[in-house]
Amino acid sequence: MSCRLSVNINKIATLRNARGHDLPNVVQVARDCETFGAQGITVHPRPDERHIRYQDVLDLAGIVTTELNIEGYPSQRFIDLALLVKPTQVTLVPDKPDAITSDAGWNTVKHASFLKEVVQTLNSSGIRTSIFTDPDLQMIEHAALCDCQRIELYTEKYARHSNPVQAIAPYVEAACRATSLGLEVNAGHDLNLINLPYFHRTIPCLKEVSIGHALICDALYYGLQNTIQLYLKCLQ
Ligand code: PXP
C-alpha cells in the first residue's frame, strides 16, 4: 500500500459531546469510515476529554480493523491507555492541556531523554511510535536518536502558505533526511482536498496522512462516503 488515509474522528466526538448523548456514535462512525475506505482511524484524547474520551479509545480498540493511531501528549495516563489498548501506532504530540489543537512539533533536543524513555516503553509493548515534528533537520535527526519508527511532519505551515511550491521545500528536505535515517514519514494538520494532492505528489515516500477537521467539514457537503473517496483519490 502507498500512503494510507487515517481519518481523525475527534470532530465526531465534539459533535456528540455538544448534546451529551450518543449521537453521532463514535464507534459507528469509525466502522463506517473503514467501510468507506479509510485505512486507519486516528484519535487524540486530551486530558479534559473534551473531544474523544478515554472510554471511546477503549471502545474503538475492539472494533477498528485497519490501524488505530492514538495521538497526544504522553502523560502517564496517556501511556497507560496506550499500553492497555496496544494500538498499531502512537503519535507523540507536545500539546499543552488547554491547546485548541496541536500547534508545534517536539523540540527533540530539549526533550530527548523523556522521548527516548516513552518510545522505549511503547516499543517494548510492540507499538509503532511516531514523533510529531516540524520540518526541521535538527529535530528530525534527534527524533531518530529516540528510536521511534516514524515522524509525523506538522503540515500547518505548508497548508497555510500562499505559495505551495515555496512552502513544500523544507518538507521535501525533511522527508529525505528522515528516510536516510531509517525513519518512515507520516504527515498531518490542515491537510485538505486542495493542498493534499501536491503534498502527496511531491513527497512520494509518505506512509500515512491523518486528516480530521477539513475531512469532516467536507463530509457535511459531500457525505462521509464520497468525502473519503475524494481524499483517497488525492493519494493515488
Ligand atoms: N496530526 C496531529 C498531531 C494533530 O494533533 C491533528 C489534529 O488533532 C492532526 C494531525 C489532524 O489535523 P486536522 O484536524 O487539521 O486535519
DSSP E strand boundaries for 37-124: 40-43, 68-72, 89-92
Ligand 1 centroid–CA 114 distance in Å is: 22
Q: In whole numbers, what is the pLDDT of the chain averaged over residues?
A: 97
Q: 39 pLDDT exceeds 90?
A: yes
| CB 52 within 8 Å of CB 18 | no
Residue 22 pLDDT: 97
Residue 11 burial (10 A CB sphere; 0-12, 13-18, 19+): buried
Q: 114 pLDDT exceeds 90?
A: yes
Residue 100 pLDDT: 81
Fold of 4-234: TIM Barrel (3.20.20)
The grid cell for 208 is 500515512
- When pLDDT is cut at 50, 70 and 90, the band that residue 1 belongs to is low
Decide which of 174 and 204 is more confident.
174
Ligand 1 centroid–CA 211 distance in Å is: 6
**End-to-end C-alpha distance for the chain, whole angstroms:** 10
- Please tell me the distance from the alpha carbon of residue 143 to that of residue 153, in angstroms, as a whole number: 12
Does the CB atom of residue 177 touch ligand 1 within 6 A?
no
- Is 189 one of the annotated active-site residues of the chain? yes
Which residue of the set 34, 51, 67, 71 is catalytic? Answer: 71
Does the CB atom of residue 8 touch ligand 1 within 6 A?
yes
Q: Which ligand 1 atom sits nearest the alpha carbon of residue 11?
A: 14
Ligand 1 centroid–CA 4 distance in Å is: 15
Residue 91 pLDDT: 98
| CB 32 within 8 Å of CB 45 | no
Probe residue for ligand 1, chosen from 102, 129, 215, 234 as the CB with the greatest number of ligand atoms within 8 Å: 102
For range 132-156, the mean pLDDT: 98
Structural domain boundaries in the chain: 4-234
Ligand 1 centroid–CA 62 distance in Å is: 23
- Is 21 one of the annotated active-site residues of the chain? no
Per-residue pLDDT of 46-91, as tens digits, reads: 999 999 999 999 999 999 999 999 999 999 999 999 999 999 999 9
